[in-house]
Amino acid sequence: MSIFNPRSTWAIYKREVFRALRTAFQSILAPVLTTSLYFIVFGGAIGSRMGEIDGVSYGAFIVPGLLLLTLLSESTSNASFGIYMPRFTGTIYELLSAPVGVAETLVGFVGAAITKSLILTTIILLTAGLFVDYSIAHPFYAFGFILLVTASFSLFGFILGIWADGFEKLGIIPQLILLPLTFLGGTFYSIQMLAEPWQTLALFNP
Confidence of residue 115 (pLDDT cuts 50, 70, 90): very high
| Mean pLDDT within 129-139 | 84
Averaged confidence pLDDT in the chain: 83
Assign 3-class secondary structure to 71-95.
HHHHHHHHHHHHHHHHHHHCCHHHH
70-79 residue pLDDT tens: 888 888 988 8
pTM: 0.84
Mean pLDDT score, 67-90: 86
Instruction: Give the CA distances from residue 199 to residues 52, 60, 62, 178, 204, in Å, rounded to whole numbers and listed in that order.
Output: 19, 22, 18, 19, 9
Predicted local confidence at residue 1, as pLDDT: 41
Q: Examine the pLDDT at 94 and tell me if it is beyond 70.
A: yes
Confidence at residue 144, expressed as pLDDT on a 0 to 100 scale = 93
pLDDT in tens, 2-23: 677 788 889 889 988 888 788 7
